[in-house]
Structure 1
Amino acid sequence: MPVLAVLAVESGHSGVAHPPTGLAMSDVALFVFAAIGVWLVRRALRKRFIEARRRNLADREAAGPPKKD
């Protein structure tokens, strides 16, 4: 039990929750990093699928017209 008391004293929170008064800088930073992450992922996926589409078109052109039986 004494260990719990020491841990409680050393914690960075008093245990009393205060109502939020406004937007914190950490909230803004979290939003900005999330938006940048979404933008980077979308850009990478667009690039990936554009390259795949170009490869498919090149393969079709190299194969020539479809053969009729």
Structure 2
Amino acid sequence: MGIAAVINLLIYGGLLIIALLSWFIWNKRYRRNHGTDIPKGYVVTDEVFIDPVNGKKLKVYYDPQTGNRFYHEI
């Protein structure tokens, strides 16, 4: 196996690892902040949007102390 083949293997392997990690991280963007019960301390905002992944309508709540956002399905 030549040096060029090893370099190509490292580059494509690294890109594959980055792509897989990015997909798993990106896929969890709203999952931890979804639910039916709005946590204490969160205030309602005027923001409402449709999640492009699943097409569900979400209302945004905000915690002024931590800056976290909570996405409540309407």
Q: Give TM-score, length-normalised by structure 2.
A: 0.46
Name which structure has the greater RCO, CA cutoff 8 Å, separation 6+: 2
Choose between structure 1 and 2: higher strand proportion: 2
> Greater helix percent: which structure?
1
Higher-Rg structure is: 1
